[in-house]
Structure 1
Amino acid sequence: MEAPVQIRSARPEEQEAFESVVRAAFADEGDVVVRVLRELVDRELVCAIIVAERNGTVVGTVALSLAWVDARERLVEIALLSPLAVHPDEQNRGTGALLLDAAFDAAQQMEFPLVALEGDPAYYASRGWEQSSDHGVLSPSARVPEAACRVRLTSSYEEWVTGRIVYPDTWWRHDTVGLRDPLLAQVEAAPEGVTAG
């Protein structure tokens, strides 16, 4: 019988292990995603890194970092969920869903009003992530398809927290916000709920 997956906070000595999972999960874009994550850590913008472990091996990871909603009253700190990475050998086994729940629970404990992410609408909607614009929270870029900008509201959320999401400049310097053509055009042309892959 296979050992169950364990979800827990990452330990500092596991950096190489969770970076390896990110590279495997993101394939050609893995090195860029790792560079973004390292820079966010170095700038003390990462709030939590959570790993999934099976049989003593890290098989998945998720990070929460700081972002903001530019509300009328003031900037509001929120948690940005990215990256979510599950090793290809571990995918389609529920590990990603466990990591998502753990990240949301961590954000809830840190009293962020909401957690935001960019991702496949079909995957995230089925796991309780709502379209951000339904709550007056706007994506950080026109290059993020509206349906792909998702949020989960915590118990600290208040209805006045509306406005555009603001990412730290790290994401912009690495050009990792939203999609660019031709992929953006393919996603926009696809039937609703279908993403180009």
Structure 2
Amino acid sequence: MDLREELPGDTATVRDIHLRAFGDHGLVVADLVDTLRNTITSDDGLSLVAEDAGSVVGHVMFTRSLLDAPRRLVEVQVLSPLAVAPEHQKRGVGTALVRAGLKILAERAAPLVFLEGDQGYYSRFGFMPGGGQGFRKPSLRIPDAAFQVLALPGHQPWMTGTLVYAEPFWRHDAVGLRDHGANEGPLLP
């Protein structure tokens, strides 16, 4: 398996991976990725893919958001989304993508990485619930255990406060659990 930055020619394959990996919520996630991709610069944010035998089989995205800290706003990263093609899941693809992305962000001196996700999965990377670390989630719809943070070497103790998601997360209604009706259940991309 090879890991590399996403290239313009990967867009359709990355979209397909998110559509298939997220099932009923795939369209929201794929549209979010398409919008977030335009916010990534060479110095800020990251979009990585995993290739197996020359085919893209996984994708992770880290994008800029803000932490409303007492001293000042702090630029932080949000890991969202992570997807692996269903036929390649449970083979370490997602783990490799997350580890590679976190290594690059640490080298860039990003102070914090936030996410909404499964504590059982993301704890292996050092993510911990944000509420117990002095952080406030950007929406009450985010379950406490799902709101997680990882402090990187660039973090300083005064960097606490409220996470402020970048605008595309709100535009695509991709924040927390949303009650779509009794028959549909919640949405957590």
- For structure 1, which segment, 174-183 or 114-123, has the greater mean C-alpha deviation from structure 2 after superposition? 174-183
1:18 to 11, 14, 19: 14
Aligned equivalents of 1:176 and 1:41: distance in 2?
15
Shift of 1:44: 4.5
In the other structure, the counterpart of 2:23 is: 27
Q: Deviations over 1:79-120 (max 9, x none)?
A: 111110011111111111111101111211221101110001
Instruction: Show the 5 A alignment for 1:167-186.
Output: 167-181=165-179
Counterpart Cα distance in 2 of 1:176 and 1:83: 10
Q: TM-score, normalised by structure 1?
A: 0.85
Alignment-derived partner of residue 36 in structure 2: 40
Matched to 1:21, the amino acid is: I
The Cα of 1:159 is off from its aligned counterpart by: 0.7
Within the candidate set 70, 73, 76, 1:75 is matched to 73
1:113 is matched with: 111
Partner of 1:192: none
2:147 matched to which residue of 1?
Answer: 149
Unaligned 5+ residue runs, structure 1? 188-195
4+ residue runs over 3 A deviation: 43-46
Report the CA distance between 1:171 and its aligned residue.
0.9
Contact 2:39/2:63 (8 A) holds in 1: no
Alpha-carbon spacing, 1:182–1:126, altered in 2? closer, same or farther (3 Å) = farther
1:43 Cα deviation (Å)?
4.2
Instruction: State the secondary structure of the residue aligned to 2:125.
Output: coil
Structure 2 equivalent of residue 92 of structure 1: 90
Q: Which residue of 2 aligns with 1:190?
A: none
Deviation at 1:154, TM superposition (A): 0.8
What is the alpha-carbon distance in structure 2 between the residues aligned to residue 29 and residue 130 of structure 1? 25
SS of 2:156's partner is coil
Return 5+ residue gaps in structure 2 as ranges: none
1:50 is paired with a residue of what secondary structure?
A: strand
Maintained 8 Å contact 2:79/2:114: yes
Q: Following superposition of structure 1 onto structure 2, how do residues 131-142 of structure 1 map, counting pairs within 5 Å?
A: 131-142=129-140
TM-score (norm 2): 0.89
- Give the letter aligned to residue 133 of structure 1: G
TM-superposed deviation, 1:47: 1.4
Question: For residues 57-77 of structure 1, what are the alpha-carbon distances to aligned partners after superposition, in whole Å with 9 as ceiling and x for unaligned?
Answer: 111000011101100111100
Q: Distance in 1 between matches of 2:147 and 2:178?
A: 15
Counterpart of 1:58? 56
Per mean C-alpha deviation after superposition, the further-off stretch among 12-21 and 44-53 is 44-53
SS of residue paired to 1:85: strand
The 10-residue stretch of structure 1 (42-51 or 104-113) with the greater mean CA deviation from structure 2: 42-51
